[in-house]
Amino acid sequence: MGSTSINSNLIKHYTDYLRLELSLSDNSVEAYCHDVHLFLQYLEAQTISTEIDGIAQDTIENFFAYLYDMNIGATSQARILSGLKSFWRYLIQEGLAEKDPTELITSPSLGRHLPEVLSYEEIQKMIDSIDLSQPTGHRNKAMIEVMYGCGLRVSELIGLQISDIYREDGFLRILGKGSKERLVPIGDSSLRILYQYIEGARLHIMPKPKFTDTVFLNSRGTGLTRQMVFLMVKDLAEKNHITKTISPHTFRHSFATHLLEGGANLLAVQQMLGHASVSTTEIYTHISDDLLRETLLDYHPRMKKDKR
Rounded to an integer, the average pLDDT of 144-169 is 95
pLDDT of 257 higher than 60: yes
pTM for this prediction: 0.63
120-307 is a CATH 1.10.443.10 domain = yes
Residues in the chain: 308
pLDDT of residue 1: 46
What residue spans define the domains of the chain? 8-104, 120-307
Question: CA neighbours within 13 Å on the CB side: how many for 35?
Answer: 22
**Contact between 295 and 268 (Cβ < 8 Å):** yes
Give catalytic residues, as residue numbers: 153, 177, 249, 252, 275, 284
Asked if pLDDT for residue 174 goes beyond 50, the answer is yes
Q: pLDDT confidence of 297, banded at 50, 70, 90?
A: confident
Lowest mean pLDDT among 16-30, 133-147, 151-165: 16-30
CATH (one of 1.10.150.130, 1.10.357.10, 3.30.70.240, 1.20.1630.10) for 8-104: 1.10.150.130
**Mean pLDDT value across the chain:** 85
Max CA-CA distance within the chain? Answer: 74
